[in-house]
Structure 1
Amino acid sequence: MDLNNIKQVHFIAVGGSVMHNLALALHKRKITVTGSDDEIYEPAAGKLKAAGLNASIGWNPDQLHNKLDAVILGMHAKADNPELKKAQELGLPIFSFPEFIREVSTNKQRIVVGGSHGKSSITAMIMHALKSAGKTFDYLVGAEIDGFELTVQLSDAAIIVIEGDEYLASKLDPQPKFLKYDHHVGVISGIKWDHKNVFPTFEDYTKQFDLFADKTPKAGSLIYCEEDNLANIVGAKEREDVRKIPYSAHEAEIKEGITYLKTKDHGKVKINVFGKHNLQNIKAAQEVCDLLGVPADKFYQAISSFKGAKNRLELLAENNGVRVYKDYAHAPSKLKATVNALHHQFSKGKICIAYELHTFSSLDKEFLKEYKDTLKHADEAFVYINPDNLKIAGENKIKEDDIKNAFNNPELQFFNDENELKKAMEIQKGKTSTFAFLSSGHFRNLDLKETAQILVK
């Protein structure tokens, strides 16, 4: 499908993070875009409205007609969705968003960044470096990034950089998204069991990354973190005519809470991000940029100004030696990496961590065991669960003792009231130099920026 020949597209479940950005990206190309969802939350609702895309709330089959060039189906839409049924009756081309991205990037070099953690950061680093080097490219990334208006761009560029999620593409196409892009260059940042609702066993989950690596074509490249046991096993497997590129954390040193990359030919390079996981992310991005023709000096110049993707170890407030961060810690491996990074970066002073158990997997008693020792380096460890999620769980809901046992931390404090959590954080004022709110949720809409200002005041 030639992007230049597309005139009209309809989105079913347009409110998703990537879905609404893709809708806006197509709208920028003067393509007529319609869409609907059962609910559309901010910031998607405001962005769509500002662009003049008045998506309908509720499903309206009358929006489907024979002049549509494509219908893009979000994961949120169920198989019996009335708009989907109408599209099927009309015989319209129906795509999940990864299928659509693949369809319109047939003639592009496709770089897909996969892994249980670090995907957004690596993709953002590559984008930042390519832009700094003056390269033209398209992209799809799961986080907002400074200097980029949307999280999706589609043009006539010869390259597209894609954050490849292992979650399922749609109800009609229950395969991991990253298997749909047919990458030329694949990245695996690390593999740790997640998404228990669709991959009920560890083996089910890890198999998807093996399939991803196996899709690397002849003359293609597979870049993988050799410091991650599973990524190394998957990546090191022999595949015919595939270039294997293992990487490890970039050499660095920390001085007075600032990280410097150590390089052979470019001296010490001061960077804004920190932690071993980010040093691994930088090296992965560098390997990709090297394949894409970005010289080392240009890469280091770019990475020194990279401030991170939104919600990824983002500094909310800092004053008089006290700092407050937030991070998208959606899984045990990410939580552990972030806590360890804060512990090593700010070795002087206490660290207070507030972690929200938010995802389906994290609220499963069996999967909860994966959190063992993830908060080991937190001086004060607080775990929060939204009370609405506890109600949904009913008799199977997680209790405080379950959490303490799973985390292997008897001193851990449990909260199901965000205001009580906030009070507990405020009690730590004067005793703690580093605070962090870690979650893929929102602590039930607790105003984190306002709370951060209180903590550093």
Structure 2
Amino acid sequence: MKTHFIAIGGSAMHNLAIALKDKGYQVTGSDDAIFEPSRSRLENKGILPQEMGWFPEKITADIDAVILGMHAHQDNPELARAKELGLKIYSYPEFLYEQSKNKTRVVIAGSHGKTTITSMILHVLNFHRKDVDFMVGAQLEGFDCMVKLTQDNDFMVLEGDEYLSSPIDLRSKFLLYQPNIALMSGIAWDHINVFKTFDDYIDQFRKFVASITPGGVLVYNEEDAEVVKVVEAAENYFRKIPYKTPEYEISNGKVYLKTEMGDVPLSVFGAHNLLNMEGARHICQQLGIMDEAFYEAIMSFKGASKRLEKVEREDHGTLYKDFAHAPSKVKATVKAFQEQFKKEKKYGFLELHTYSSLNPVFLEQYDHAMDGLNEAIVFYSEDALKIKRMEPISPEFIKEKFKNNTLRVFTNAEELHAYWETLDKTDGVFLMMSSGNFGGLNLTR
């Protein structure tokens, strides 16, 4: 099969391209910019475009599938050529469904936790050598590529994102998967640039539940009121399995899960991670992994990339980085950090980086998100606001919305970096929350 990727360099797209190359497909692609690690990984597979840009001449009549990434625009010249030739154009999730429509599809959805839960499931399955197809949005230890597609596997585990499918398909990605087994971890307003109201956002999850195949299974977080409302209002037929935060304790800095089989030591911390683990356990049961086997495997789970991931520093300081940027994620991560490090001085850094997080209306959601830290720092770039064509935001406005007068607010990367250099990284513990990189801040030294 001959496939062409428009915007091949994306974090998700390049993984799919590599998976298809490994499957024996003929793969080509284009992009206007490709960064690491996508660049090296595509180059190692021999599918890195020779030059950056869009080239309509690459689109030929013998291409079986054109896969369109979100990074491309509606007026992309390669897309126009594909339409002109009448080629089959897939969004990323649409193509994944085509690859898995004869398998049992397991879809993990939710505003927060879906990457971690998917990673936990894959870690357990990999530990017990149970082979499945999969797609997950973060790098996981023990896996070279975060998309796997085969002819023979019976199951496919998919991280289900509620964001748009492609520039020409404005459905939420997870609505294309039609799960046989699903999980919903939580609902908290996100992607405000696309979903203008909270009800519009919630509606994507109503549609997701409605897309579960007849007689399917939904594992859901019974501690989330919005999730419960959506589940209780569903009219289609499926089996409902609720889950909640399990009992645990922290002893000498180590987290122990309380189970009928005894205390299980874990390599991760935070109540939200324990809640995620409980959801993963129920999904694994559906896949034939019983509790004893699940606990045996989950002890060695160290977390998905950038999800409370410990950074090894030259000075041996204690620093964790986390992808948290949406308000619910920030609050859960800060709470976990406080619980884990009760006696240490706690520094928390948050970069407001996305369209949603920089929206004055959405900023209301961050109230008290950084409370309980000894030093709380928020950074956003005034230049980024200009690039996004957004109105200026004052540091005073940020403090008001966070309801935190002691907040330090930086709008200039150089000033943030200068402040960072004044801190003794071995005096206290550090939490760095961002989907960006704090203007190029080096966290390892």
Counting only pairs closer than 5 Å after superposition, residues 438-449 of structure 1 correspond to structure 2 as 438-449=433-444
In the TM superposition, what are the counterparts of 1:356-395 in structure 2 within 5 Å? 356-392=351-387
Distance 1:179 1:240, change over 3 A: closer
Query: d(CA) in 2 for partners of 1:318 and 1:341?
Result: 21
Larger deviation, residues 321-330 vs 439-448: 321-330
CA distance in 2, matches of 1:127, 1:395: 40
Q: Contact 2:136–2:147 at 8 Å: present in 1 too?
A: yes
Pair 420,158 (structure 1): closer, same or farther in 2 beyond 3 Å: same
1:256-295 alignment, distance < 5 Å: 256-264=252-260, 266-295=261-290
Distance 2:234 2:30 in 1: 45
Which letter does structure 1 place at the counterpart of 2:30? S
Mapping for residues 409-420 of structure 1, pairs under 5 Å: 409-420=404-415
Structure 1 contact 373–407 (Cα < 8 Å) conserved: yes
TM-score normalised to the size of structure 2? 0.96
2:300 to 287, 296, 305: 305
Q: 1:267 to 1:351 in 2, by over 3 A?
A: same
> Matches of 1:144 and 1:367 in 2, distance apart?
29
CA distance 1:99–1:395, shift in 2 (3 Å): closer
What corresponds to 1:26 in structure 2?
20
Equivalents in 2 of 1:47, 1:35: separation in Å? 14
Please state how far the C-alpha of 1:48 moved relative to its aligned partner: 0.9
Displacement of 1:350 in angstroms is 1.6
Inter-partner Cα distance in structure 2 for 1:22 and 1:226? 33
Structure 1 59/158 Cα, relative in aligned 2: closer, same or farther at 3 Å? same
Say if 1:445 and 1:427 are closer, same or farther in 2 by CA, change over 3 A. Answer: closer
Gaps of 5+ in 2: none
Contact 1:351–1:432 (Cα < 8 Å) also in 2: no
Alpha-carbon distance, 1:391 to partner: 2.7
1:3 aligned partner: none
**Contact preservation (8 Å) 2:382, 2:392:** no
CA deviation string 1:265-308 (max 9, x = no partner): x2111101111110110001000000111021110011000000
1:393 Cα offset (Å)? 5.4
Question: CA contact under 8 A between 1:273 and 1:307: conserved in structure 2?
Answer: yes
Instruction: Using the TM superposition, give the Cα deviation of residue 49 of structure 1 relative to its aligned residue in structure 2, in angstroms.
Output: 1.2
Partner of 1:145: 140
- With normalisation by structure 1, the TM-score equals 0.94
1:73 aligned to which of 68, 92, 95: 68
Aligned twin of 1:184:
180
Matches within 5 A, 1:13-412: 13-55=7-49, 56-155=51-150, 156-264=152-260, 266-317=261-312, 322-392=317-387, 396-412=391-407
Q: Identify the range of structure 1 (36-45 vs 382-391) with the bigger mean alpha-carbon deviation.
A: 382-391
Number of positions where the alignment pairs a residue of Structure 1 with one of Structure 2? 443
How far off its partner does 1:345 sit?
0.9
Answer yes or no: is the 8 Å Cα contact 2:258–2:264 preserved in 1: yes
Contact conserved, 2:105 with 2:155, CA < 8 A, in 1?
yes
Contact (CA 8 Å) 2:217, 2:241: kept in 1 or not? yes
| Superposition deviation, residue 430 in structure 1 | 7.1
Contact 2:209 2:234 in 1 (8 A): no
Question: What's the secondary structure of 1:353's corresponding residue?
Answer: strand
Distance 1:395 1:215, change over 3 A: closer
Alignment partners' CA distance in 2, 1:290 and 1:430? 42
C-alpha contact 2:65 2:90 (8 A) present in aligned 1: yes
Shift of 1:321: 8.8
Q: How far does residue 178 in structure 1 lie from its aligned partner after superposition?
A: 0.5
What letter corresponds to residue 168 of structure 1 in structure 2?
Answer: L
- Give the Cα separation in 2 of the matches to 1:355 and 1:11: 34
- How many percent of aligned residue pairs carry the same amino acid? 46
How many angstroms apart in 2 are the aligned matches of 1:195 and 1:401? 24
Call closer, same or farther: CA 1:317–1:157 in 2, change over 3 Å: same
Residue identity opposite 1:100 in structure 2: F
